Structure 1
Amino acid sequence: MNYLLIKEIINLVEEFETETKNNPVFEASIHGFKSWISKNNNTIVTEPTWVGKETGRSAESYINTLIVHLNRYAKSYSKSAIIGSGFSTQEDFIYLINLKAFGEMSKIDLIKKNVHEKPVGMQIINRLISQGWIEQRNSKTDKRSKVISITKTGLQSLENIMDKIRQATTIVTGNLSQNEKMELIRLLDKLDNFHQNIYDKNIETENLLEEAFKNLNK
């Protein structure tokens, strides 16, 4: 019997228990232990299969497809959540949620926070103003610009559908375990930061692909 190997495994288990005792990111199970080992070694335990892999389809292609599909699923659940509420799209309540969470801001800042192009963002803002859910006033720091904030009516309208919105967001994460959700947050946050840095540069569309590709090598 390889007692040295057993000792090393026991040491790993002790390290796992110590690290996760006060920070339970990984559940106390064999699955959690395997995930912890995988994360610490920055390796994939088993490479998954995906549609088209056997014919040469890349992981990048499949990831893009999954992201597009998940966005469409999320929109369909959000659409169901706002039926009969007066909200037109999920962007309407997301804009209100941002104003509620971060307070008043300029129109451009709100549009950027939601990663929209200016014309699309302005349509959403104007729609919310016409509903009486947000209001605008002159900026105290720059009289040439205006800031917008959520109104009491907007807060109430948002509160009226929050239970259904929470249901929709819960459904989107599906049957993932708590540990899987935490790992997904880590990966998506890393990916979002990568793209946010590119988005913040306001690169012209005709040059975007070329400039964004340069960031892959940094």
Structure 2
Amino acid sequence: MAYTSAIPVLTAWERFTEDHPQGSLREFAGWLLHHLDPLRQTPPLPDSEPVLKSGQRLSEAFGDDDFLTSFFVGRLNRYAKSYAKPIMVEHGFASADEFLFLSLIAQMNMPTKKEVCIANATEFTTGVDILRRLLKHGLIQETPDERDGRAKRLSLTDKGLGIVHQVYEQLAHLQSSVLADLDEVERMHFLQTLKYLNNYHFQFYKP
């Protein structure tokens, strides 16, 4: 095994601690990823952000991290939906949410309507409308709960299962990836951050 010097890491740590004296190793890892690839810091197209009347881009004018995070996460969600939209239309889905509901039901153990709505972080009334459309198109079916006669369990029909597999295969061949050209380490770091935020906010979320 070739010997690799630790000096570059120590040098980077010294630079990091100068600006962030109380910084943790976790924060250092994020800082390191950000500074190793300066291309990640600047959008390649000048019109990728709104330009305000001051002449500044949105991220230059606003210093509120929460606002900018909401803005960019919302944009990323719309990009992802636009990539998948032709596939959704091809299979008769009114929105990507309908497929998300269908795919989760396929993976869950015969959930109730409430459980599916919670899993998708969707308000119950909105979720019931989505489930009603899936039932109407013969993609899911209801089974009475053996322990609670008032509740019904959901599962996929053969038609629904077939469509889920078809859509998975088509999504796997999309040329546009939501994670763009991030390498394996960057993807792992990004997904870990998303999972952390999901777990953190879920405890406060009231669908």
Aligned to 1:9: 7
Name the stretch that deviates more: 57-66 or 121-130. 57-66
**Which residue identity lines up with residue 194 of structure 2 in the other structure?**
L
Aligned to 2:51: none
For the pair 1:66 / 2:64, whether they are aligned, the reply is no
1:123–1:168 CA distance, 2 compared to 1 (3 A): farther
Out of 182, 191, 201, the residue aligned to residue 188 of structure 2 is 182
Distance 1:41 1:195 in 2: 20
For the pair 1:94 / 2:100, whether they are aligned, the reply is yes
Gaps of at least 5 residues in structure 2 are: 11-22, 36-40, 44-56
Gaps of at least 5 residues in structure 1 are: 1-5, 13-37, 204-218
Aligned to 1:166: 172
Partner of 1:116: helix, strand, or coil? coil
Aligned to 1:40: 25
**Larger RCO, structures 1/2 (Cα 8 Å, 6+ apart):** 1
Instruction: Please give the per-residue CA displacement for 1:49-78, whole angstroms capped at 9, x wherever unaligned.
Output: 794455453232221111010011111112
1:188–1:96 CA distance, 2 compared to 1 (3 A): same
1:170–1:104 CA distance, 2 compared to 1 (3 A): farther
TM-superposed CA distance for 1:114, in Å, is 0.4
1:131–1:56 CA distance, 2 compared to 1 (3 A): closer
Q: How many residues align?
A: 171
Out of 69, 79, 90, the residue aligned to residue 85 of structure 2 is 79
TM-superposed CA distance for 1:42, in Å, is 2.4
TM-superposed CA distance for 1:101, in Å, is 1.1
1:180–1:7 CA distance, 2 compared to 1 (3 A): closer
Partner of 1:105: helix, strand, or coil? coil
TM-superposed CA distance for 1:157, in Å, is 1.8
For the pair 1:134 / 2:140, whether they are aligned, the reply is yes
For the pair 1:112 / 2:112, whether they are aligned, the reply is no
Distance 1:163 1:10 in 2: 43
User: CA RMSD, aligned part only?
Assistant: 2.9
Distance 1:89 1:190 in 2: 27
Q: TM-score, normalised by structure 2?
A: 0.72
Instruction: Please give the per-residue CA displacement for 1:23-44, whole angstroms capped at 9, x wherever unaligned.
Output: xxxxxxxxxxxxxxx9835232
Residues 177-216 of structure 1 mapped to structure 2, 5 A cutoff: 177-199=183-205, 202=206
Out of 130, 154, 157, the residue aligned to residue 124 of structure 1 is 130
TM-superposed CA distance for 1:180, in Å, is 0.5
1:74–1:169 CA distance, 2 compared to 1 (3 A): farther
Q: TM-score, normalised by structure 1?
A: 0.68
CA contact (8 A) 1:92 1:128 kept: yes
Name the stretch that deviates more: 58-67 or 105-114. 58-67
Distance 2:156 2:6 in 1: 57
CA contact (8 A) 1:104 1:148 kept: yes
Distance 2:26 2:135 in 1: 51
1:107–1:9 CA distance, 2 compared to 1 (3 A): same
**Which residue identity lines up with residue 101 of structure 1 in the other structure?**
Q
